[in-house]
């Protein structure tokens, strides 16, 4: 028999009003492998203490990219455009995104990245699950990043070696 989990009585800690969000300073994130990828982010899920899912309010200035072209092996991601425009490179296709557009990026899916080619800021919600172990592949720069319990390490494809099982 399982015992029911205690319900936290302080539900206010899980509620963010528009005013709360508007008054939360953005954190500037420069991508570790691409200095042109700059996101200004309010991590909504972190503020309320969610650990299994991430949800972030993201602003990208004109001319900036969002990330290095990549995909995840274990993590599903999505974006929902709130304002502005972004150019999406998804696999071999290109898309122009604007307010109201939604894109899902399934684990093991096609590589993706975005760029703000307009002259105005773009904002979107970005979310996804947070598996304890994930591998992100960056095919354009031939690199893998391992995220194991929030510790990140990377290796270039050329440095990967096969693990032998000891059999002849």
Domain assignment present for 85: yes
Domain assignment present for 168: no
Domain assignment present for 51: yes
For the stretch 13-38, pLDDT in tens is: 899 999 999 999 999 999 999 999 99
pTM assigned to the model: 0.88
Range of the domain at 56: 17-131
| Tokens 């700059």 belong to residue | 38
Domain assignment present for 154: no
Q: What is the 3-state secondary structure (H, E, C) of the chain?
A: CCCCCCCCCCHHHHCCCHHHHHCCCCEEEEECCEEEEEEEEEEHHHHCCCCCEEEEEEEECCCCECCCCEEECCCCEEEEEEECEEEEEECCEEEEEECCCEEEECCCCCCEEEECCCCCCEEEEEEEECCCEEEEEECCCCEEEEEECCEEEEEEHHHCCCCCCCCC
For the stretch 110-147, pLDDT in tens is: 999 999 999 999 999 999 999 999 999 999 999 999 99
pLDDT band at 167 (very low <50, low <70, confident <90, very high): low
CA–CA gap between residue 28 and residue 140 (Å, rounded): 24
Q: For residue 34, list its beta bridge partners.
A: 31
pLDDT band at 12 (very low <50, low <70, confident <90, very high): confident
What's the number of domains the chain is made of? 1
CA–CA gap between residue 153 and residue 135 (Å, rounded): 10
CA–CA gap between residue 36 and residue 100 (Å, rounded): 25
pLDDT surpasses 60 at 6: no
Domain assignment present for 87: yes
Mean pLDDT computed over every residue of the chain = 93
Domain assignment present for 141: no
Q: Which CATH number fits the domain that encloses residue 40? A: 2.60.120.10
């Amino acid at each position: 028999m399982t015992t029911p989990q205690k319900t936290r009585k302080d539900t206010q800690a899980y509620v963010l009003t528009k005013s709360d969000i508007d008054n939360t300073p953005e954190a500037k994130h420069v991508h570790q492998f691409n200095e042109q990828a700059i996101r200004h982010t309010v991590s909504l899920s972190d503020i309320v203490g969610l650990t299994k899912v991430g949800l972030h309010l993201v602003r990208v200035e004109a001319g900036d990219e969002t990330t290095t072209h990549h995909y995840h092996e274990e993590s599903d991601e999505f974006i929902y455009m709130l304002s502005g425009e972004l150019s999406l490179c998804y696999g071999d296709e290109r898309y122009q995104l604007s307010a109201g557009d939604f894109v899902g990026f399934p684990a093991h899916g096609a590589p993706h990245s975005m760029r703000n080619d307009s002259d105005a800021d773009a904002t979107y919600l970005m979310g996804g699950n947070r598996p304890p172990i994930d591998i992100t592949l960056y095919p354009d720069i031939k690199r893998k990043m391992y995220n194991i319990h929030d510790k990140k390490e990377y290796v270039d494809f050329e440095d990967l070696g096969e693990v032998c099982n000891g059999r002849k």
